Amino acid sequence: MARPPIKLLFFLVLVCTNLTSINAQRRLTYAFEKNIILLDFSTSLGLYKERDFVSQRIPIFVAADFGVADQLSFGIYGGWSQRTRKPANFPPYDINYYYYGARFSWHFTKWLSDNTPIKLDRRNVDVYATIWGGRNLARQIIFSGSSTGNGNVGSVGGYIGARIYTMYRIGVLVELGAGPFGVMNLGVCAKF
């Protein structure tokens, strides 16, 4: 069986690098605006834990979003993680998890500044709420070196996040909520 999530992840990186070269010269006024391209590279710290969970490799998460309106974006994401499991009376084994899907975000920094006492610098701060939906594919690695498909399940969730740009187009991000990997994502971001 082919590995469509890996191909999707490579395709996402390829598309993002081409889009960034197209928009690299465009002047941006705010941290989020219409027609902006956002790229995220992050990992999860708050992992979902299960009873027979032994160890976790650092998850890798890549996402790209496009500003379809002044406060709305649509994007795609992909990622990978690996867990070692040790069920009772069985030897430990590794499972690779591949994540891919789409996400839709409302960027409400302007709304916060206009309607609450919270005043944020819209040029450097992007606060957003995201809903996402996608697939999680689990593949177990067996001793022969080959792998066998263990499952493919749909998943949905949502989270609140913030991007803080410390340089003109590069920043840091934090996301809290029910994400594809866990309850807290940290990473770097770029805007084009």
Cβ–Cβ < 8 Å for 157, 177: yes
**90/92 Cα distance (integer angstroms):** 7
Query: Higher confidence at residue 85 or residue 124?
Result: 124
pLDDT of residue 1: 40
Cβ neighbours for 152, distance < 8 A, ≥ 6 positions apart:
135, 136, 137, 138
* pLDDT over threshold 50, residue 2: no
pLDDT of residue 132: 94
Return the SS3 of 136.
strand
The residues with which 181 forms a beta bridge, in sequence order, are: none
**CB-facing half-sphere around the CA of 124: CA atoms within 13 A:** 9
**152/1 Cα distance (integer angstroms):** 13
**81/115 Cα distance (integer angstroms):** 40
pLDDT of residue 14: 58
Architecture of the structural domain at 4-191: Beta Barrel (2.40)
Query: pLDDT tens, 57-111?
Result: 888 999 999 999 999 999 999 999 888 877 788 788 888 889 999 999 999 999 9
Query: pLDDT tens, 11-57?
Result: 656 555 555 454 455 677 888 899 999 999 999 876 656 667 777 78
Query: Higher confidence at residue 104 or residue 119?
Result: 104
**CB-facing half-sphere around the CA of 44: CA atoms within 13 A:** 25
What are the residue boundaries of the structural domains of the chain, listed by start? Answer: 4-191
pLDDT of residue 90: 79
Query: pLDDT tens, 139-168?
Result: 886 655 554 557 778 889 999 999 999 887
* pLDDT over threshold 90, residue 174: yes
Model-level pTM? 0.78
User: Quick one: average pLDDT of 156-182?
Assistant: 90
